Structure 1
Amino acid sequence: MRKPPVLAIVVPCYNEEEVLPITCGLFKAELDDLLAKGKVAPGSHVLFVNDGSRDRTWEIIRELAASDPAYRGCSLSRNRGHQNALLGGLMEARGHCDATISIDCDGQDDIATMEQMVDAYLDGCDVVYGVRSSRETDTFFKRFTAQSFYRLLESMGVECVYNHADYRLLGAAALDGLSQF
């Protein structure tokens, strides 16, 4: 079993001024719970990545970072898109932590499953996917396009985890591998 990691929760943000004040507390509460249980090490933090937001998102991130060392932020020079913001955040966190968990800012992923991800890391896993058990809350269009996407990938012979999202844990070795792309 591994020692508790310094964990960075990486949260890409684009125009999130309405939801960020709500979800930041949820991320911090989960981090505090993991710290209290001894599952993550001191120095663990939430890293918000501003993806060129046009609202007050970056101001809110700066205020959070100034108010509590568990909150950190970085800002892209302009809007680069969700996946680029996510990658930028992972690369920013790399070298400053033992593991990252990436999660969307909107709070739709089950934050409480972070503990299971960390447990899997402690047991030796370097990559842990968050996989949706259901898409019932998605609109018809979102369900249809997601299912079509996975069918297309499958038809092309791509190996992928069905219904996974950007909600995942990556250990330092996986982050180092990702940085080589």
Structure 2
Amino acid sequence: MSDSTARPLLWIIVPCYNEEQVLPITAPLFLEKIHALAGAGLISEKSRVCFVNDGSRDRTWELICQFAREDEHYIGISQSRNRGHQNAVLAGLMEARDKCDITISIDCDGQDDINAMDEMVQQYLDGCEVVYGVRSRRDTDTFFKRFTAEGFYHLMNLLGADIVFNHADYRLISARVLESFADYKEVNIFLRGLIPLVGYKSGTVYYARSERLAGESHYPLKKMLALAFDGITSLSNKPIRLITGLGAVFSIVSFIGVIWAFIQAMTGHTVAGWASTVSIVCLMGGIQLICLGVIGEYIGKIYMETKARPRYIISERTWQPYERKYRG
């Protein structure tokens, strides 16, 4: 895969969804970084920037095709429909695993520091198979977003999920790791939790995240909460165990309450009151609904896993635009 000088061949994987405003700004930056790394002797000149169109409804795919016609370092694949950010990244990684030596996944909005790639590649050359890009600070986030994001990472680690704190999806992965990761067949994927499970020697690069260069974020609070819940239920079964423990605690409390009520009735100290009864019924009913919802979420994921539907479908490639669909 790499050239005669044994420099690694790099694919930069860039998921895109309705990014026509920001792509003309960031695409040249990715190309410039390819040339800079190659010029420094860190990667092969044959390295590529691979855009993954995630079923965009604007001109994103047209722009990707235009970039590919203008420069051979640009390539692109398009999914048959929108599958979500995680599946778009997965599609790019699986497309690249037998065509390059290393991949670096990064969002196309320009928020992740592109210059961190230099240290990522250097750590790969020093023996690391995975290098995680980790935010050094969250100054650009609102208090609410910073509090909820950091709380999510703490909660995930508390529940037993091995994820890197303040790491999203900016990372270097070697082809060797991708070959091992291809054996992970989960339909419900949460990459920042699955990649550490593969193992191999890893490193960390810290960087400061900036504001989006153009366009609007496609990850509102609703999607962020959905991703967080998917991550928790995909990587840990501790919520089920917590429900079991909660049920045991309330069963003991209820049993004590029954004994107390029986004693009060036998001694003639019972007092009629609807407030306490209603409060207890509402509390128990709410807890039961929450528990059923969590259990239902796990059952739903089992249902989707048993179907084993394809996680992505590539409908077009810039180098083979009329090729039949490929599944993964």
- Taking structure 1 as the reference length, the TM-score comes to 0.96
Quote the Cα distance in structure 1 between the aligned partners of 2:117 and 2:7.
14
Higher RCO (CA-CA < 8 Å; seq separation 6+): 1
The total of aligned residue pairs comes to 180
Structure 1 outlier segments of 4+, above 3 Å: none
Which consecutive unaligned segments of at least 5 residues does structure 1 have?
none
Q: Secondary structure at the match of 2:20?
A: coil
Quote the Cα distance in structure 2 between the aligned partners of 1:139 and 1:13.
25
Farther-moved stretch of structure 1 (165-174 vs 146-155): 146-155
Quote the Cα distance in structure 2 between the aligned partners of 1:110 and 1:92.
24
Determine the structure 2 residue equivalent to 1:138.
Answer: 141
- Shift of the alpha carbon at 1:88? 0.4
Q: Secondary structure at the match of 2:115?
A: helix
Q: Is the 8 A contact 1:91 1:175 kept in 2?
A: yes
Which amino acid in the other structure matches residue 75 of structure 1? S
Which amino acid in the other structure matches residue 115 of structure 1? D
- Shift of the alpha carbon at 1:152? 1.4
Q: Is the 8 A contact 1:4 1:122 kept in 2?
A: no
Q: Percent identity?
A: 61
Q: Is the 8 A contact 1:52 1:79 kept in 2?
A: yes
- Shift of the alpha carbon at 1:94? 1.1
Q: How does 1:22-171 map to 2 (within 5 A)?
A: 22-171=25-174
Quote the Cα distance in structure 2 between the aligned partners of 1:100 and 1:142.
29
Quote the Cα distance in structure 2 between the aligned partners of 1:38 and 1:72.
22
Q: C-alpha deviations, 1:1-56, integer Å up to 9, x for none?
A: x9421000000000000000000011111110001111001210100000000110
- Considering fraction of residues, name the structure with more helix: 2
Quote the Cα distance in structure 1 between the aligned partners of 2:154 and 2:40.
41
Which amino acid in the other structure matches residue 137 of structure 1? T
Larger Rg: 2
Quote the Cα distance in structure 1 between the aligned partners of 2:117 and 2:59.
28
Q: C-alpha deviations, 1:28-85, integer Å up to 9, x for none?
A: 1111000111100121010000000011000000000111010000000000000000
- Considering fraction of residues, name the structure with more strand: 1
Quote the Cα distance in structure 2 between the aligned partners of 1:62 and 1:179.
28
Q: Is the 8 A contact 2:129 2:173 kept in 1?
A: yes
Which consecutive unaligned segments of at least 5 residues does structure 2 have?
185-328
Q: CA RMSD in A?
A: 1.2
Match of 1:15 among 18, 26, 34: 18
- Taking structure 2 as the reference length, the TM-score comes to 0.54
- Shift of the alpha carbon at 1:151? 1.7
